[in-house]
Amino acid sequence: MDRILRIFRFGQPLRPQVTWGDVVVLLGLAAFIYGAVRLGMDAPAVVQGPEINLAPGFLPHYAGLSLGRMFAAYLLSILFSLVFGYVASRSAGAERILIPLFDVLQSIPILSFLPVALLTFSAILPLGVAVELSSIVLIFTSQAWNLAFAWYQSLTTIPRTLQRASVMLRFNAWLRFKTLELPFAGVSLIWNSMASWAGGWFFLMAAEIFSAGERNFRLPGLGAYLQEAANQGDLRAIAYGLTALILIIVILDQLVWRPLIAWSNRFTMQMVSSDDPPTSWFYNVLRNAASVQFVHRALHRPLMERLDAWLIRVLPARGAIGGPPRSRAWLRVGLGFAILAVILGGVYLCGRMLLGVSLTQWGQIAVGLGMTLLRVLASLAIALGWTIPAGVLIGTSPRLSAWLQPLAQIAASIPATALFPILLLLVVNLPGGLNLAAVLLMLLGTQWYLLFNIIAGASAIPRDLQSIASLLQLRRWERWRVLILPAIFPYTVTGALAASGGAWNASVVAEYTQFGGRTLQTTGVGALIAEATAQGDYPLLLAATLSLILTVIIINRLVWRRLYRLAEERYRLD
């Protein structure tokens, strides 16, 4: 039996790892966070948009504005993920910098990005446009990292046989991207896109209404509507806002996500066709529409053929590129020294600001980090406990997926921050009520990263391997041990990494909240960051944020990077 079960096994010894990238990331982010905090001190006093009207008739207008911001942020996230995920997978040096950087950036509280984005855009654009673009950038920071990790994970786990075939066929970068890399990553990217949209909805309220001390920023939108309803304790308005959000989610599921899932089934790695492939009525309508077929024949196909021919001429085949020109090498050295000088200058100024943090405050930060870490671990453990069996069940059963995937998408896209006031009313009077509420809010905001990644991994298990497992009459535990768990391991690592980063980020909202004119908070680094932001205590904000970053880098070094290497070397379908 052991010899037969080897057909499911993968594995090579893990390579040693280098840690200098972590040092560069930490110093660079220290300079970046200092710049963000320093710019926040010079932010405009008031950027006040129109008052948010809680009448239901305003919801269509607000929903349209928020949907436009979400779509713009998603396009920006896709472009960012394709470029930087590709660079990280192709260059060992870039990988040592970018992977820790992605891991840390998704854990930085979203509000830390606002001062940099706002003042940068306001320097070159009218203030109203600058605030709008800043909101889009904030939503981008809640979507991009998950997609970048999914794209990177897919590129690093492409079967070596397919990679060798692309080399033998002398594919250039464009053909390799079009015919191998993007199709192989298609299923994962689509499911992670749904998770990223859910993350965008989660932080939409923070991206449309923001306060720092006496400075207030406001944009009309669905997130601002829900935030205003929560601040006023208007449960009826919260219900109206959630109803509008659910309608948007259902429409997007039927017109966008389900057709994409049905279309991506062609890219699954299998030699045996599925008995019950995913379907979509809208996809069937588009595929059979005469007008769509005409546009495909008359416009899309000729344009793609011309693009293919041009890129084949412009881009050399794989292996035909020599070393970088000497001038480019000198340019890279000069740019590296310039970046290093900026980082060192920022680190010096950062150190000066940190001198204003008292020992008592440092002790509060240490205690807060410990408490928040416990909440992150608790939410991650609970999420893993239910998302692995549920994700495998949905991913391996297209019939169940057709029913449960829309429900999961709806549940994932409802901002947990909008439900938090209701959650507080239910648990705040229980023993440890606010701690329990904080863990539940982290769980509601991050478990979907795991679920959608595991669904993607389970649905990508080749049908022929499932058939072999059935023919061998493997017991349930053996099937999980030798097929299912190894196959979904890379996707689980990606989802867990995104979920943990999201939990750290959500701690700012979970540990410090305002509801019905009251401010409720519990011990944690997220509460310290939120309180320092609200009071304009910039040295404490800088110290707490940097401490969170250092904690995340240590966890990344000890846990996530090793798991990613394990997924890349041992659990890949070869």
DSSP H helical ranges for 114-178: 114-124, 127-156, 160-168, 173-176
Residue 459 and residue 274: Cα distance in Å, rounded? 11
Residue 373 and residue 525: Cα distance in Å, rounded? 9
Most confident region among 245-249, 274-278, 312-316, 556-560 by mean pLDDT: 245-249
Residue 574's CB: how many other CB atoms inside 10 A?
12
Residues 552, 504 contacting (CB under 8 angstroms) = yes
Identify the residue with better confidence: 468 or 116: 468
Predicted local confidence at residue 533, as pLDDT: 72
Mean pLDDT of 205-232: 72
Identify the residue with better confidence: 355 or 42: 355
Residues 346, 31 contacting (CB under 8 angstroms) = yes
Predicted local confidence at residue 440, as pLDDT: 82
Predicted local confidence at residue 388, as pLDDT: 92
Tens-place pLDDT, residues 252-273: 888 888 888 888 878 776 655 5
**H or E element at residue 466:** helix 463-471
Tens-place pLDDT, residues 286-310: 888 787 788 878 888 888 888 888 8
Q: Which residues contact 413 (CB under 8 A, 6 or more apart)?
A: 197, 198, 201, 245, 249
Tens-place pLDDT, residues 484-537: 888 888 888 888 887 887 788 778 777 877 665 666 778 888 888 878 877 777
Predicted local confidence at residue 527, as pLDDT: 84
Residues, the chain, total?
574
CA distances for 336 relative to 98, 105, 247, 331, 339, angstroms:
15, 21, 49, 8, 5
CA distances for 316 relative to 164, 165, 171, 173, 504, angstroms:
17, 17, 9, 8, 43
Residue % of the chain over a pLDDT of 90: 5
Residue 162 tokens, joined: 């397919």
**H or E element at residue 452:** helix 433-459
Residues 83, 91 contacting (CB under 8 angstroms) = no
Residue 17 tokens, joined: 């790892």
Residue 458 and residue 475: Cα distance in Å, rounded? 18
Amino acid at 182: L
Residue % of the chain over a pLDDT of 70: 74
Q: What is the rounded end-to-end Cα distance, in angstroms, of the chain? A: 20
Q: Taking the CA of residue 143 as centre, how many other CA atoms within 13 Å lie in the half-sphere pointing to its CB? A: 31
Residue 189 tokens, joined: 């990217």
Local confidence band at 384 (pLDDT 50, 70, 90 cut-offs): very high
